[in-house]
Amino acid sequence: MMDLQGERVVVLGGTSGIGLATAVAAAEHGAEVTVVSSNRVKVEHALRTLPPGSRGHAVDLTDTAQVRALFDSVGAIDHLVFTAGELLTLMPLDTLDLDMAKDFFALRYFGALGSVQIAAPHIRPGGSITLTTGTAKDRPGPGWSVAASICGAIDALTRALAVELAPIRVNAVCPGVVRSPLWDSMTEGDREQLYKDTAAAVPLGRVGEVTDIAQAYLYYLTESFATGSVLTLDGGTVLA
């Protein structure tokens, strides 16, 4: 039973894509949801999608002071979900911009680590943290060195935090290619070709939808015997 009645869930990156789908799903199962994004317009849009009583904050997750102020304001919570990330940009090694690569790590890795450090004391007994990784660590292609490295680092971080923060449960969700705003830096034609090529290559014959992936986060919010684990939802990408 995925019963979150009365529990408080904070979704960092919860204003679009997988994060918003997770926030919506958690709210549908009774949770009091708070969504966070650096973009105030996206926060306002998400709150129009979520049920009354949901909350939203515009916060730069790479700014420690802003993150600390956020959790001081929110108070006690039951679950933290981290899905935040900028639009995906592939970086071939011969043209790689090292400063841009560092910026990717600043949000997707250090943003996650810093948020967990600050949020952990606010998590009530029986609570959980769910991070986000990806199949790039298992099946990288040309231009994926930075993205694959971040995914691998989040995997290792998940296991380390599960040990250090026990009995708080720490897990991660690993999506494959999902139809989401993550790919909006691509032209519409290139994006649709990516979806088509991916669907043709994987055993299940389609790309993921954000609602598919949201179910994995719900599982980790409610499964009391899972920690240090990574749940992969990729349509069979790593098998192809």
Q: What is the pLDDT of residues 90-99, one digit of tens each?
A: 888 999 999 9
3-state secondary structure of 18: helix
CA angle 22, 177, 96 (to 5 degrees): 110
Per mean pLDDT, which range of 20-29, 164-173, 184-193, 201-210 is the poorest? Answer: 184-193
Choice between 187 and 25, residue whose per-residue pLDDT is larger? 25
Q: How many CB atoms lie within 10 A of CB 3?
A: 11
Looking at residue 182, its pLDDT comes to 82
Residues 26-41 have a mean pLDDT of: 97
User: Does 87 score more than 80 pLDDT?
Assistant: no
Distance of CA 195 to the CA centre of its chain: 20
Looking at residue 2, its pLDDT comes to 73
Contact 183, 194 (CB under 8 A): yes
**Residue percentage of the chain with pLDDT more than 70:** 100
pLDDT-derived band at 183 (thresholds 50, 70, 90) equals: confident
**pLDDT tens per residue, range 43-56:** 999 999 999 999 99
> What DSSP state is assigned to residue 93?
G
Looking at residue 141, its pLDDT comes to 85
Looking at residue 1, its pLDDT comes to 59
CATH number of 8-231: 3.40.50.720
Looking at residue 140, its pLDDT comes to 87
User: Does 32 score more than 90 pLDDT?
Assistant: yes
Using CB atoms within 10 Å of the CB of residue 203, give its burial: 0 to 12 exposed, 13 to 18 middle, 19+ buried.
exposed
Q: Phi, psi at residue 234, to the nearest 5°?
A: -140, 10
Q: Which ranges of the chain does DSSP label H, i.e. alpha helix?
A: 17-28, 40-49, 64-74, 98-108, 110-119, 145-164, 188-201, 210-222
Domain ranges of the chain: 8-231
Residue 163, amino acid:
V
**Mean residue pLDDT across the chain:** 94
Q: Among 108, 117, 15, which Cα is nearest to 64's?
A: 117
Model pTM score: 0.94
Q: How many CB atoms lie within 10 A of CB 183?
A: 19
**Residue percentage of the chain with pLDDT more than 90:** 83
Report d(CA 190, CA 146) in Å as an integer.
Answer: 21
Q: Among 154, 66, 72, 160, which Cα is nearest to 119's?
A: 72
**pLDDT tens per residue, range 119-149:** 999 999 999 999 999 998 998 889 989 999 9
